[in-house]
Structure 1
Amino acid sequence: MQQDMRLWIGTDLSEQEFGDLAEELVLRDDATLLPHLLLFAERHADFWPGTRGQLVLAGMLRVLVDTLEAGETDKVLDALSSCPAALAQQALDLLVTALPEGALETPAELDDAMAFCIAILAGASGQRDAVAVFLDQARPGRAEGFYGPPAARIAAHFAPAADKTGAFKPKLIVWDLDDTLWHGTLADGDAPVLIEKRATFVRAFNRHGVVSAICSKNELAKAREALEGFGLWDAFVFPRIAFVPKGAVIRQMIADMQLRPENVLFIDDNPHNLHEVADAVPGISVVDATSGECDALLERLLAENAHVEKSRVADYRLLETKVAERAADQLSDEAFLVQSGIHATFTNRMDNLEFAERIEELVNRSNQLNYTQSRIEPGTIRDKIQNIDHYEVLCAFVWDKYGYYGLVGVAVYAFRTQTLEHFAFSCRIMHMGVEDAMIRELAERGYPLHASPAFRKPLPPQSSRAITILSYADADVRARVLAEEAPRDWSKVDLRIMADCQSGAFFHYSRHQAVTDFDNAPRLFSLPQMKCGAYREQAFPRHLVYTAATDYIDWRWEKFSREIDHALFLECADMFVDMAVRGGHKVLLFLPPEGLGLKMYELHKGCVPERSRVWHPVLNHYWRGVAAKFPGVFTLVELAEVLAPDELIHAHHYVPSALQRISAMIDDWYDTETAALGLSRAA
């Protein structure tokens, strides 16, 4: 298996050695190994028509059909991504000869796997327009639940690229070297002279989210030495430098980088290479490095990406390491995922306000893994995050032994329609099973989505079995994510907002974020914790904000009672007050409105609004007494005196503009308290 890897440094295999390698790979019955064979198929074109080559093709067809029968359509599509069109046609011809005479005239009588294999080989051979037509002809009489999703996946994979003139959005630029990045030809002994403008383009695109790779017919060692001399080697990812045909190499590169050809630009000075790549990789954009159009195009693309202020080089460097390690270890998909040590955690509700811009960017940039094919109007996701009565926004953060991938998945679920508005993922986690993990997480929260009509493309078959799910409520997990996404010095935290699900909104609008921490279920404080002692595991800085409504709902007390018990409430509240007084804390206490219409006390599913409305004035009365008794500790705010009726979603939840005003009140209170503390210390 190591033989094929030697070709990257310019060595070659004899036809006998290539045949031995081909037979070995096919006998392993693993479709994921076929790209290692197909990548160099064109260099051994004379091998395939012979008896030995035909036997290898027959074995390859067996592997493909077996893989399709196992329901692993994506494995076959990935395996054939490196297959030359001519060889795909040979394989298709061989497959057809093995079928009963006239079988293609009645495709509905073929087995599902056989129909899929014929369609995929037809697409790989260049007959992209025929794929969807053939699959539709084969559809009658089949079980749509089994046939439909793979057929849709195959049809989408080979769908002809739409006209994208003026709308090209690159994620990858593949550069030739000789007479493209520099003047001169290394193989001819020339001393390369760097084209400074092109080097500037490479560095600038890296800063603005578009990565660069290399595909060059050169000796790797010499090319690397030259690039290092120019200080450019580390500016590129996935360098493919060898004397091999560029079409197959770039096709495999795009597959390894988990991108679409429609988001790739190839630059070369050789017209033959440009035509070869354009033919081998349908949908890719190519440009002649010697034309005036080249630099003009690069300048336009750079200007269009100037708003992106994120380098993705590290992301693809991580992926490059994974591809190389997997090839070296010869692992199956599942074994590779297991040994990768994948971990994921999910954030919900107000925790996601910190990541609002990234959520919008992910949904709006994702194409391959945007399963709802939807987009978000920039600046609007914050409203849905805060509208917790109508939406659940769930985000996935992932890391493994190779590195940290960040926020790579978003689901936005609308309660009213009970459907997904958005379900999108980063291509960096393709084939890792994160989609399945997200669906399982949503199902655990009460939102089963396997049959959701919002899905516009089939979900991948990968299971999430290899992923270890961690709770974001775990302090170490949260610290791990925030250290990457929003670094802060936790030793400076002096203010904690304990307002259950609205805490994050107050934090989001605060001007004191550097010294503030906030609650978000299940990471929160509530009065029953005083009774069971769970509060001792939490940190309470000097300044606390507490919304009393947090504990005005029956289910908060379910560990001790089916509903609010007045005596138990008083016991726990007294313990909290004692902790605040003895601990030298300052507490800003918000009381919810009372005496509203009955509908305003329909606080949650199963709530009895009549009981809720009765309890509010009773419990508010207790807190008013506390504030009167300890005015130096508790500062009381009556929200009924602050909020207008149209700012209430219900008695406990408020519209974003109200949340912003409450946050400003918290800031002003904190400023007053810290200023007073400073004066007392000075005195």
Structure 2
Amino acid sequence: MTIVKCLVWDLDNTLWRGTVLEDDEVVLTDEIREVITTLDDRGILQAVASKNDHDLAWERLERLGVAEYFVLARIGWGPKSQSVREIATELNFAPTTIAFIDDQPAERAEVAFHLPEVRCYPAEQAATLLSLPEFSPPVSTVDSRRRRLMYQAGFARDQAREAYSGPDEDFLRSLDLSMTIAPAGEEELSRVEELTLRTSQMNATGVHYSDADLRACFTDPAHEVLVVTMGDRFGPHGAVGIILLEKKPSTWHLKLLATSCRVVSFGAGATILNWLTDQGARAGAHLVADFRRTDRNRMMEIAYRFAGFADSDCPCVSEVAGASAAGVERLHLEPSARPAPTTLTLTAADIAPVTVSAAG
């Protein structure tokens, strides 16, 4: 069963009782309010597709105190299928992950005809959605509970970028970007497992580490499972990277580095590698990084090469425990201290805590 990632609500006689253009007041029941807030806690985004006067309908949502829960709203007089399609496109979600709820059979039929992969529900079912498996993700993480905030921040960030007329680096500085690298906690492990599963372009090995694999490393004192999070003046980016490191006195084995593709343009990968190189230099340890070429991770190879990782016959490469898996290269770097990033403030609360301030 594919989990729903976004529920698109009709308004009149679906989200609320009553019709905006005909009734002085509309009523949002406690049951529906609980559905809205609980779906939000579960990390399921919500949007609106309504045939209505936009300003009037949105004013009602604000007055009822639920407008903030909807990441997108298509309120007008066009076909509902077009509204749902636009919402899916803007969120970059497949139609199979979208659900639509409406009190009118004709509207549900119109959406189902044009978007057969979208799951459609009658309004009478709204109060029972929370009990359905497709609305019940197996785990709840820090990021899932703030997913709406991350998407809303992303939309605001994109609008600011479109309006900005200066150089890209100046725009990045204006964001007040911050990155934190810290040991994974119990709650973060499920999120970083998801990162290894979903990230292909910026995954150094293309390998998926299961929750059990990560927990085994998490409890092994020779390993560090580090989570990379980011934020800026618009809000959180959430967990955007994972570092899996096995430490020996003179060699650090970087078994996995994966970052979300959405933070590539912010220089996240280079910042992580510069920080790791600096930490290795401070510890007097060589770095050995696993890398497997895939059809999609060319960008990660470039990041490693720019950071100075290369093929090497240094004895520390052969000292790394275990033979490399099929297709995995082991790249080597004898690190030296690296300069601070120019567009990121980095806080690293792990092997050797250090704070790097962005250049002015």
Query: Which residue of the partner structure matches residue 217 of structure 2?
Result: 384
**1:216 deviation in Å?**
2.0
Q: Secondary structure at the match of 1:200?
A: helix
Q: Distance in 2 between matches of 1:281 and 1:443?
A: 49
Cα deviations by residue, 1:427-450 (Å, 9 ceiling, x for unpaired): 6x475443454456567753556x
Q: Does 1:357 align with 2:221?
A: no
Which ranges in structure 1 are unaligned for 5 or more consecutive residues? 1-166, 479-503, 505-519, 524-683
Provide TM-score, normalisation by structure 2.
0.63
Distance 1:296 1:467, change over 3 A: farther
Cα deviations by residue, 1:197-220 (Å, 9 ceiling, x for unpaired): 332211111223223222222222
Amino acid at match of 1:412: L
Aligned partners of 1:343 and 1:467 also within 8 Å: no
Q: Distance in 2 between matches of 1:279 and 1:333?
A: 43
Q: Does 1:409 align with 2:256?
A: no
Query: Which residue of the partner structure matches residue 42 of structure 2?
Result: 208
Query: Which residue of the partner structure matches residue 192 of structure 1?
Result: 26
Which ranges in structure 2 are unaligned for 5 or more consecutive residues? 281-286, 307-340, 355-360
Q: Secondary structure at the match of 1:194?
A: coil
Q: Does 1:317 align with 2:192?
A: no
Query: Which residue of the partner structure matches residue 342 of structure 1?
Result: 177
Query: Which residue of the partner structure matches residue 508 of structure 1?
Result: none
Q: Does 1:395 align with 2:218?
A: no
Q: Secondary structure at the match of 1:182?
A: coil
Aligned partners of 2:72 and 2:87 also within 8 Å: yes
Query: Which residue of the partner structure matches residue 122 of structure 2?
Result: 289
Q: Does 1:224 align with 2:58?
A: yes
Amino acid at match of 2:69: A
Counting matched residue pairs gives 301
Query: Which residue of the partner structure matches residue 521 of structure 1?
Result: 352
Aligned partners of 2:193 and 2:211 also within 8 Å: no
**1:411 deviation in Å?**
2.8
Higher strand share: 2
Q: Distance in 2 between matches of 1:217 and 1:190?
A: 18
Aligned partners of 2:4 and 2:98 also within 8 Å: yes
Provide TM-score, normalisation by structure 1.
0.37
Aligned partners of 2:195 and 2:242 also within 8 Å: no
Aligned partners of 1:321 and 1:402 also within 8 Å: yes
Distance 1:422 1:433, change over 3 A: closer
Q: Secondary structure at the match of 2:68?
A: helix
Q: Distance in 2 between matches of 1:249 and 1:301?
A: 25
Query: Which residue of the partner structure matches residue 140 of structure 2?
Result: 308
Aligned partners of 2:42 and 2:140 also within 8 Å: yes
Q: Does 1:173 align with 2:7?
A: yes
Distance 1:298 1:377, change over 3 A: same
Q: Does 1:238 align with 2:72?
A: yes
Q: Does 1:453 align with 2:292?
A: yes
Q: Secondary structure at the match of 1:234?
A: helix
Q: Does 1:425 align with 2:256?
A: no
Q: Distance in 1 between matches of 2:116 and 2:288?
A: 39
Cα deviations by residue, 1:607-637 (Å, 9 ceiling, x for unpaired): xxxxxxxxxxxxxxxxxxxxxxxxxxxxxxx
Aligned partners of 1:343 and 1:470 also within 8 Å: yes
Q: Distance in 2 between matches of 1:431 and 1:302?
A: 33
Amino acid at match of 2:352: A
Q: Distance in 2 between matches of 1:270 and 1:334?
A: 50
**1:272 deviation in Å?**
5.7
Amino acid at match of 1:403: G
Q: Secondary structure at the match of 2:132?
A: helix
Higher helix share: 1
**1:233 deviation in Å?**
1.9
Amino acid at match of 2:67: W
Distance 1:302 1:205, change over 3 A: farther
Aligned partners of 2:227 and 2:242 also within 8 Å: yes
Match of 1:468 among 334, 343, 346: 343
Distance 1:209 1:295, change over 3 A: same
Aligned partners of 2:189 and 2:215 also within 8 Å: no
**1:223 deviation in Å?**
0.9
Amino acid at match of 2:229: F
Q: Distance in 2 between matches of 1:338 and 1:279?
A: 47
**1:169 deviation in Å?**
1.8
**1:226 deviation in Å?**
1.8
Q: Distance in 2 between matches of 1:214 and 1:472?
A: 38
Q: How does 1:105-116 map to 2 (within 5 A)?
A: none
Q: Distance in 1 between matches of 2:167 and 2:112?
A: 31
Distance 1:422 1:212, change over 3 A: same
